Structure formats: C-alpha cells, structure tokens
C-alpha cells in the first residue's frame, strides 16, 4: 500500500471546523508535515510536527499526532473560502535526508 | 526576497523529444530538489542537488537527469519523453546547515509538461 494515505475529498461550510486525516506506515518517520497547494501554485508548508510531540497549534491550525496508530490530523478552525485547496500530508526520516514522502492530497472545498 | 522561480510555466512536447526545465532557488538557499506531480497525485521525489552533485535520487529512470550550477540554479532534463511523463514538475530549494534538522523546502510554482 501507499506510505502515506489520505481521504481524497472533504466538503465543509464556511465558519465550520475542517479535519483532514492522514495515516502513514513507517514508524521511523521523524517529521510529519502538512502542505497546502492552491490551483496553479506550488506547495506551501503550513506546519510540521516532530514525532515526539502529540499536538502542535498555530493560530487556526491544530495538528494532532497519534504515533501508536500512525495517524496525523490537521484541524482548521473557522474555515474560510480561502482555505479551499489541496492539503498534502507528508513524512520524512533521517535515513532519507528528510526528503518528504507525500500522500495523494485531500481536496478541501469550503461552501459559503 | 525572491522565492523559488521556475521556467517555463507550460511546455508541450511530443513523444521521443527531450526537454529541459529550469529552477532558480530562493535567495540564500544552496540545495535544489525536483519532484514530479502527476494529475491527482502527490509529488514524487526525483533527485536532489547540492554542491553541484546529485546527492540523492528517487525511483526514476536514467532518462531523468539534472545539473546544478555554481549559482545554485538547477536544470532537469528528460530524454525520450513518454506520454506518462506528462505532469507538473516542481522544484524546491532548501539550505543545508540551516540549523533546522528537517531543512524546510520552499517550492516553486512548477512547470506543467504535456507530452503528446
């Protein structure tokens, strides 16, 4: 199977919270990332979490890591239409020189 | 502060042709990585250049080659193009020894390659 798996689509109403989920297979993953890709643009690093952390919060973004289940989530509070984009989960490890391995991305659609 | 730039933005080639894509890293960065992003997929790592040498390579055939210049800019060359090479090619730059273990990568907007 894929090293990093994500659901492909998520639709939410403006103002609601969005939760994007990701699972990974490699227990030696050291860093886990969330990237955002808007149409016609490259990837923008939103946030990352080190594997010895359980949670990281940055303004509207909250990352939760369950290392036992190899599950990562990104919660976006008060989701806005400008948050509509594709969100990629990625992991990296020291043996791979921290080159991220990406999931297929979750397309977030925010309805007014 | 200029970010990562790539050229051209779009390119159309036919099967069997060769293509060269270019990338200028973010100011102050010394490492360039290339990724292939097929439609509906996440980016796949092609290779990384540091000090003008290929430092690491993903699972791509030898038809994919690259170069890094003394000014840290980089080229990606693809020979004998196949239909399956149609994708968005992303360049990312980073700074080795930035003090950050994970060497945060900054991505360019990509070059959209279509092979007919």
Higher pLDDT, B110 or A97: B110
B102–A99 C-beta distance less than 8 A: no
- Residues in chain B closer than 8 A to A4 (CB atoms): 42
B109–A41 C-beta distance less than 8 A: yes
Q: Which of residues 44-73 of B touch A (CB under 8 A)?
A: 44-45, 48, 55-56, 58
CA distances from B82 to A13, B96, B116 (A): 42, 34, 8
How do the pLDDT tens digits run along chain A, 112 residues long? 568 999 999 999 999 999 999 999 888 878 899 999 998 888 999 999 988 889 999 999 999 999 999 999 999 999 999 999 999 999 988 765 678 899 999 999 999 9
- Residues in chain B closer than 8 A to A48 (CB atoms): 102, 104
* B10 Cβ neighbours under 8 A, 6+ residues apart: B111, B112, B114
Among the listed residues A107, A103, A82, the one whose alpha carbon sits nearest the alpha carbon of residue A91: A103
């Amino acid at each position: 199977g894929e090293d990093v798996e994500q659901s492909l689509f998520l639709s939410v109403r403006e103002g609601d919270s969005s939760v994007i989920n990701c699972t990974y297979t490699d227990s030696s993953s050291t860093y886990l990332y969330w990237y955002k890709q808007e149409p016609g643009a490259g990837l923008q690093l939103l946030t990352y979490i080190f594997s010895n952390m359980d949670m990281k919060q940055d303004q509207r973004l909250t990352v939760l890591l369950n290392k036992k289940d190899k599950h990562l989530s990104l919660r976006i509070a008060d989701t806005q239409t400008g948050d509509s984009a594709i969100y990629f989960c990625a992991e990296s490890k020291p043996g791979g020189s921290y080159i991220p391995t990406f999931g297929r991305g979750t397309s977030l659609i925010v309805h007014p | 502060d200029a970010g990562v730039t790539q050229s051209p933005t779009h390119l159309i080639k036919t099967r069997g042709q060769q293509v060269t894509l270019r990338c200028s890293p973010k100011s102050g960065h010394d490492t360039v990585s290339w990724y292939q992003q097929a439609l509906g997929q996440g980016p796949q790592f092609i290779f990384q250049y540091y000090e003008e040498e290929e430092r690491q390579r993903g699972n791509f055939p030898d038809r994919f080659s690259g170069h890094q210049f003394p000014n840290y800019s980089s080229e990606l060359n693809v020979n004998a193009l196949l239909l399956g090479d149609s994708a968005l090619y992303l360049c990312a730059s980073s700074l080795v020894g930035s003090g950050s273990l994970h060497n945060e990568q900054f991505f360019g907007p990509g070059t959209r390659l279509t092979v007919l």
